[in-house]
Amino acid sequence: MAELNLIALWRRLLALPNESRTKTLAVAFLVTLACAALVSATTVVLRPFQDANRAAERQARLEAMLDELPGMQDILAGSGADGLDTVIVNLTSGTVAEDIDPDTFDRTAFAADPETSTVLGPEEDVAGLGRRSDYQRIYILREGDAVRLVLLPVSATGYGGRIEALLALQDDFNTVAGLSITEHSETPGLGARITERSWQALWPGKEIADETGEIRLQVVRGSASSVFEVDGVTGATRTSTAVSNMIAFWMGPMGYGPLIEALKAGRV
């Protein structure tokens, strides 16, 4: 009976004049409903393909970043590992977040959500980030149960905008295996020289902290004179300072400090 009533109602609707406001609103509602259903169905059908494409894109970006890290391909080729493991870590606890899928993790969304991010105070925010996601995607190279290499995304605000980089640490988690600048808005010919392979090649072998645990690695003005210094970029003091601040923040307690302690203790 209900079906017959609906059919009758539909016939009465179609019989209304085209200029009828009721008919116009009804048709508009039905078209909207049909479009919404079509979009929802399309999203469900395409989601597996979208996830696969995002995973392939991330892998391509990672491979490109590894190509930019001086000597990294030799390290990967000389290891007995099959490849890099991608994991999400909780920065506060230094533990792996098993309940977050690395393939669908969106750092930007996490950083924007008050529930999954931390507002940084002026004294903490040496890198000029404002707000830090409580979770980060990192990459680990293992040989058996031992961690051979860890790659950590790091960032800071430079002269022209956000600087994004990938910092690789050797298995003592204090010696730099490489640094690759992956994104920046620095001045061409000046700050942008941080992308030059000759400058990035200065990083392998540098040390993050001294025996007391104090973070000392920095980009200095002029030439480096110790294992804790990297040559400055001529004419780009603010960019050099931003890179130094990036290391200081991300290697400290508000960055990967808890994770590094967990790695040294063999808990990751």
Q: How many helices (H) and strands (E) does the chain have?
A: 7, 10
Q: What are the backbone angles phi and psi of residue 135, rounded to the nearest 5°?
A: -130, 145
Please name the amino acid found at residue 76.
Answer: L
Give CA–CA dist 119/89, Å, rounded. 18
What are the domain boundaries of the chain? 70-264
Mention every residue, 6+ apart, whose C-beta is less than 8 A from residue 197: 68, 70
Output DSSP code: residue 226: S
Give CA–CA dist 74/165, Å, rounded. 20
pLDDT in tens, the chain (268 residues): 555 566 676 677 667 777 777 767 767 777 787 777 777 767 666 655 655 565 565 556 566 656 656 566 666 665 555 578 899 999 999 999 999 999 889 999 999 999 999 999 999 999 999 999 999 999 999 888 889 999 999 999 999 999 999 999 999 999 999 999 999 999 999 999 999 999 999 999 999 999 999 999 999 998 999 999 999 999 999 999 999 999 999 999 999 999 999 999 998 8
Question: Judging by DSSP bridges, how do beta strands 218-219 and 229-230 pair with one another?
Answer: parallel
Following DSSP, what letter does each residue of 191-215 receive, concatenated? GGGGG-HHHHTT-TT-BSB-TT--B
State the pTM of this model.
Answer: 0.75
| Radius of gyration of the CA atoms of the chain, in A | 26
**Reduced to 3 states, what is the DSSP secondary structure of residue 232?**
coil
Helix or strand run (H / E) with residue 258: helix 257-264
- Which ranges of the chain would DSSP assign to H, the alpha helix? 2-15, 21-68, 72-78, 107-112, 197-200, 237-250, 257-264
